[in-house]
Amino acid sequence: MKSFNNLLLQVTDQIAVLTVNRVHRLNALNRETVLELTEAFRFLEQHTDVKGVILTGAGEKAFVAGADISEFKSLDSAGARGLAKQGHSLMDRIYNFPKPVIAAVNGFALGGGLELALACHIRIASTNAQFGLPEVSLGIIPGYGGTQRLTQLVGRGKALEMIMTADRIDANEAHTWGLVNHVVDPAAIIDFSGQLLHKIFGRSPNAVSQSIEAVNAGILSPQEGFEKEIELFGQSFASKEAKEGIAAFIEKRKPNF
């Protein structure tokens, strides 16, 4: 199994638990951590024993409390654009990952940390989680996809309120807004996320991957999304999993994916 300076990676029962491990910095995303996360997801995509990923933060206080602001001081405009491109590369890799990715948000998810959670397919929040995009307090804006993905999830008005005020919201408000799927006790968040993944594992892996692709296509362009759905629907029928799933339904048995 691969090892990293700022990440912990454990694979158990087809689930990779990937933990940002910079507790002394509330798991803030520095350049090295962004690069390591990119490499970890590249590795996990090729790891045939892994069917899904839980992304979380070390310790009890933070999922990821933002970018590492200490790295911002020396940046000029060109350097900032380069940093944003690096961040976008990671977030896009997670957003388009062909296996389900759950963010287990166990505390602060601020700035780049919220953007990291937004890139995941599903978000589970602990009851003590807090969410926010505080960038305007620093005179900058979210740069890792936050302006776009938050708007897609909660709508323009709510997204602009959160971005322009830099206020935080708690887990229950995030659930009401549609920002997170479930709110659970902190001690149960990994088990709950694992149970949800195992439910998904009982479905066709090929169809799950194609569903991610189709949904993402429609977010980028609604009309192209419909066309992509038609294309992938047709492709899905050519898979062995479709033949098995349809036969199992007719024969009233559980499919063997």
Give tens-digit pLDDT for 91-132. 999 999 999 999 999 999 999 999 999 999 999 999 999 999
Give the separation between CA 228 and CA 234, rounded to whole angstroms. Answer: 10
DSSP 117-150: HHHSSEEEEETT-EEE--GGGGT----SSHHHHH
Q: Distance of CA 64 to CAs 7, 22, 25, 74, 98, Å?
A: 12, 9, 9, 22, 23
Q: Which two tokens stand for residue 2?
A: 């691969």
Tokens 């961040």 label which residue? 87
- For residue 188, is pLDDT > 80? yes
The question of whether 115 is a catalytic residue gets the answer yes
DSSP 162-186: HHHH---EEHHHHHHHTS-SEEE-G
Q: Distance of CA 110 to CAs 50, 102, 199, Å?
A: 28, 17, 29
pLDDT, tens only, 50-60: 999 999 999 99
Cβ 19 vs Cβ 58: under 8 Å: yes
User: Would you give the DSSP letter of residue 27?
Assistant: T
State the pLDDT at residue 87: 96
State the pLDDT at residue 1: 75
Q: pTM score, two decimals?
A: 0.95
| Mean pLDDT to the nearest integer, 17-25 | 97
Catalytic position from the list 32, 39, 115, 231:
115
The question of whether 135 is a catalytic residue gets the answer yes
State the pLDDT at residue 210: 98
Catalytic position from the list 36, 60, 71, 135:
135
Residue 194: phi and psi, rounded to 5, are -65, -40
Cβ 134 vs Cβ 166: under 8 Å: yes
Nearest-CA neighbor of 217 among 202, 201, 199, 229?
229
Query: Per-residue b/e over 69-82, b at no fewer than 16 CB within 10 Å?
Result: eeeeeeeeeeeeee
Q: Which residues contact 134 (CB under 8 A, 6 or more apart)?
A: 66, 110, 111, 166, 168
| Mean pLDDT to the nearest integer, 146-170 | 98
The model's confidence at residue 236, banded by pLDDT at 50, 70 and 90, is very high
Give the separation between CA 181 and CA 126, rounded to whole angstroms. Answer: 11
| Mean pLDDT to the nearest integer, 157-185 | 98
State the pLDDT at residue 73: 86
Q: Where are the alpha helices (DSSP H) in 96-124?
A: 112-119
